[in-house]
Amino acid sequence: MVQDLWQNEFSRIQEQARDLLLQKINTGLYKQIENSCVICKISKSTIPQSEKVIAKVDRYGIPNRTVMCGVCGMLRTDPVFRESDYADFYQSHYRELYSGAFEASEDFFDEQLRRGAKIRKLLNNYVSIEGKIVVEVGTGAGGLLRGVIGDDAFGIGCDYGFDYLKFAQAKALSVLQGSINSLASNSTDILIYSHVLEHIANPAIEISEMHRVLKNNGLVLVIVPGLFSIHRHYGGRLSQYLQSAHLQHYTREHLRKVMCNGGFVERYGTQAVTAIFTKKSDLITQYYFLPTNLRNKIKIYFAVMNVAKFALSAMLYFYLKFRFLSLIRPYLSRKSTARKPNTERYKLVRRS
């Protein structure tokens, strides 16, 4: 499986952020460490033939080795940077690289607000939001959190990006810089991880913190870019899906396995992936076994996308070619008619 090359156009802010990030990587300021499979706990050093390389760069051209576990089929970045390096990355480069802006905008906040309102409707099917304590990890500008809590719940947002947190504070939201480590145990009714868990190299530690912070029977909503939804959101191109900040790549089944290992039970889930889990106080009562053919399903999915990609590219090529010819054909016919001599008129004139 080889990642296809895809040329992207970046804004000046994105190019600057990428160049600064590459400088820190190339000079050794960011150090790399091994990242084993979060499910199977194996890596190249433990079992040399345990992984298959999927790609070596991300969509921004940043060196990023993506591998597939040879046992469970889960994709991950290996190696990864140190935790301190990622803290610096999210504080200094992440927003500029991925959004092309130093600060949040009103349009960005409004778009997040609409998403939050939809999430509130989904959560209301399992718990009433009114009066609940809702914590969002990776809140950014806070729009999604505001949409979830509305006017009848209490919300706290956590993030590393200081500039975006200032925007959230201006919207009268309670925020803290960092993670949920500083929150009290059994203090939260609902946790929201929207496009956050895929950024964490060792999700087991984060899930342990989820379990500590949530009240008994509390809910956690997890949204990650689903591996089986690349054809819907990324045009079927793996090169558009892969990002150096995404360290784990989930299917619904992989996420369910990781969360169940941490003491959670799935209440709702899609392959998008959007899932809701309930905390269980007894960590050993819930088990979930991955489908035995999951790794082969992922391989087949990638193979089908590759075939479809080339087929669509060929169709687009021939469509544009014939479309171009159909557009210029009238012009060519007019031009050839204009150049053609009127021999009949010439003969009549000669006879007279």
At 301 the three-state DSSP class reads helix
* Structural domain count of the chain: 3
Are 152 and 82 members of one domain? no
Are 183 and 326 members of one domain? no
Are 63 and 118 members of one domain? no
Domain termination residue (choose one: 54, 80, 99): 99
Q: What is the pLDDT of residue 348?
A: 45
Q: What is the pLDDT of residue 2?
A: 38
Q: What is the pLDDT of residue 5?
A: 39
Query: Could you write out the DSSP letters of every residue in 324-341?
Result: HHHHHHHHHHHHHHHHS-
At 87 the three-state DSSP class reads helix
CA distance 280 to 260: 10
CA distance 339 to 296: 63
1 belongs to a structural domain = no
**Do residues 210 and 220 lie in contact, with contact meaning Cβ atoms separated by under 8 Å?**
yes
Inter-CA distances, 7 with 69, 191, 234, Å: 28, 37, 14
Question: In CATH, what number is assigned to the domain containing residue 151?
Answer: 3.40.50.150
Are 143 and 220 members of one domain? yes
**Residue matched to tokens 């193979």:** 303
Are 69 and 123 members of one domain? no
Are 129 and 241 members of one domain? yes
Q: What is the pLDDT of residue 134?
A: 98
Structure tokens at 79: 């190696």
CA distance 74 to 72: 6
Give me the average pLDDT of each 10-residue run along the chain (352 residues): 50 92 96 94 82 93 94 95 92 88 88 97 96 96 96 94 89 92 94 97 95 95 95 84 95 96 94 94 68 91 80 61 65 57 49 42
**Do residues 172 and 154 lie in contact, with contact meaning Cβ atoms separated by under 8 Å?**
no
Q: What is the pLDDT of residue 101?
A: 81
Q: What is the pLDDT of residue 9?
A: 73
